[in-house]
Copies of this chain bind each other. A is one copy, B any other.
Amino acid sequence: MNVDRQSGQDLDAPTAGPGDGVSIAEAARLSGVSVHTLRYYERSGMMPTTPARTSGGTRRYRKAELEWIHTCTKLRSLGMSTDLIRRYVDLVRAGPGNEADRLHLLEAQRERVLAQQAQLSMDLEMINGKIQTYRERLEQGSADGIWSVPREP
Q: Which chain A residues have a beta carbon within 8 Å of chain B's beta carbons? A: 48-49, 64, 68, 71, 74-75, 77-78, 92-93, 95-96, 99-100, 102-103, 106-107, 109-110, 113, 116-117, 119-121, 123-124, 126-128, 130-131, 134-135, 137-138, 142-144, 146-150
Given known contacts A68-B147, A119-B77, A149-B95, A134 and B113 CB-to-CB distance under 8 angstroms: no
Asked whether A107 lies within 8 Å of B120 as measured between CB atoms, the reply is: no
A107 CB to closest chain B CB, in angstroms?
6
Asked whether A149 lies within 8 Å of B49 as measured between CB atoms, the reply is: yes
In the complex, the count of this chain's copies comes to: 2
Asked whether B123 lies within 8 Å of A103 as measured between CB atoms, the reply is: no
B64, B106, B149: the one contacting A93 at CB < 8 Å is B149
B102, B127, B138: the one contacting A78 at CB < 8 Å is B127
B100, B110, B137: the one contacting A128 at CB < 8 Å is B110
Contacts of A121 in B (CB 8 A): 117
